[in-house]
Amino acid sequence: MKTLSKRILGSVAIVLFAGLIVTLRAKDVPPAGAPANAPAARHADPHDAPKVSAESALKRLVDGNERYISAKAERPNQNSDRRVEVAKGQHPFAIVLACADSRVSPEVVLDQGLGDLFVVRLAGNVVSDEAIASIEYAAAHLGSSLVVVLGHQKCGAVKATMDVVLKGEHPHGNIAFLVDAIRPAVVRAKGLPGDLLDNAIKVNALLMVDEIKRTPRCAR
Ligand SMILES: [Zn+2]
């Protein structure tokens, strides 16, 4: 379910809200499994990159997600020919900031393959300085035209933050950093009708889009 479309990187930044499982909805080193004599991967010149508009990129992602949902995944670009191709350079058509949850791997739930997506993953799909730097790299050097923040149902990081905010639980160790990042979404979602966790997940993804847009090199 698409919940927001925003302009970013001179293109469209999208938040997809991915349902979990049933309802769901690279650099200098050659990919694992590439032949030993394959040419060394290189940083791609964005001017050499295939021109995939943000709108086309989004359609590819939505179409792939629909294939996944309907158990018609094609698992494109995952054969040995593709490994050799991307060893020469990468031109991912989209950047995806996703949760680290093991059940929502972007290449799987969006039915894409090697070299298609530049994926940054942190629990709760939160934005950190390192995440922003990674997004900037892909936008500036790899020719990616679309940034997607991918939230998902039953997100444990958001649920844990809810428990802190609503029940006064204390996060352990460095989990507090995640809670601090997600807390504003939970607070905002408290006033919305409907399921609090679902709302907090959506609001969290939208706030992360706003966070990315506030980065000078990303926003236009
Ligand atoms: Zn999650």
User: How many angstroms separate the Cα of 80 from the Cα of each of 13, 33, 85, 142, 203?
Assistant: 32, 8, 9, 22, 40
Give pLDDT, residue 23: 26
Q: CATH number, domain at 67? A: 3.40.1050
184: in domain: no
Distance 167 CA to ligand 1 centre (A): 20
User: How many angstroms separate the Cα of 206 from the Cα of each of 75, 103, 118, 200, 218?
Assistant: 29, 21, 20, 10, 16
101: in domain: yes
Distance 166 CA to ligand 1 centre (A): 19
pTM summary value: 0.79
The SS3 call for residue 61 is helix
40: in domain: yes
Is pLDDT above 70 for 2? no
Distance 159 CA to ligand 1 centre (A): 9
The band of 11, judged by pLDDT with boundaries at 50, 70 and 90, is very low
59: in domain: yes
21: in domain: yes
Is pLDDT above 80 for 216? no
The SS3 call for residue 19 is strand
Distance 186 CA to ligand 1 centre (A): 14
Distance 190 CA to ligand 1 centre (A): 19
CB atoms within 10 A of CB 204: 28
Q: How far apart are the first and last CA of the chain?
A: 26
Domain enclosing residue 53, as ranges: 2-154
Is pLDDT larger for residue 216 or for residue 93? 93
176: in domain: no
Question: How many distinct structural domains can be found in the chain?
Answer: 1
Is pLDDT above 50 for 41? no
Q: Say if strands 147-152 and 11-18 run parallel, antiparallel, or are unpaired.
A: parallel
Complete edge-to-edge strand list for the sheet that includes strand 117-121: 2-8, 11-18, 147-152, 94-98, 117-121
**What are phi and psi for residue 74, nearest 5 degrees?**
-100, -15
70: in domain: yes
Distance 121 CA to ligand 1 centre (A): 10
Q: Which residues pair with 16 in a beta bridge?
A: 2, 150
Distance 88 CA to ligand 1 centre (A): 33
25: in domain: yes
Is pLDDT above 80 for 112? yes
Is pLDDT larger for residue 155 or for residue 2? 155
What angle, rounded to 10 degrees, do the helices at 196-213 and 156-167 form?
110
Q: What is the pLDDT of residues 147-202, one digit of tens each?
A: 999 999 899 999 999 999 999 888 889 999 999 999 999 999 998 999 999 999 99
Is pLDDT larger for residue 66 or for residue 21? 66
Q: What is the pLDDT of residues 54-77, one digit of tens each?
A: 889 999 999 999 999 899 999 999
Distance 45 CA to ligand 1 centre (A): 33
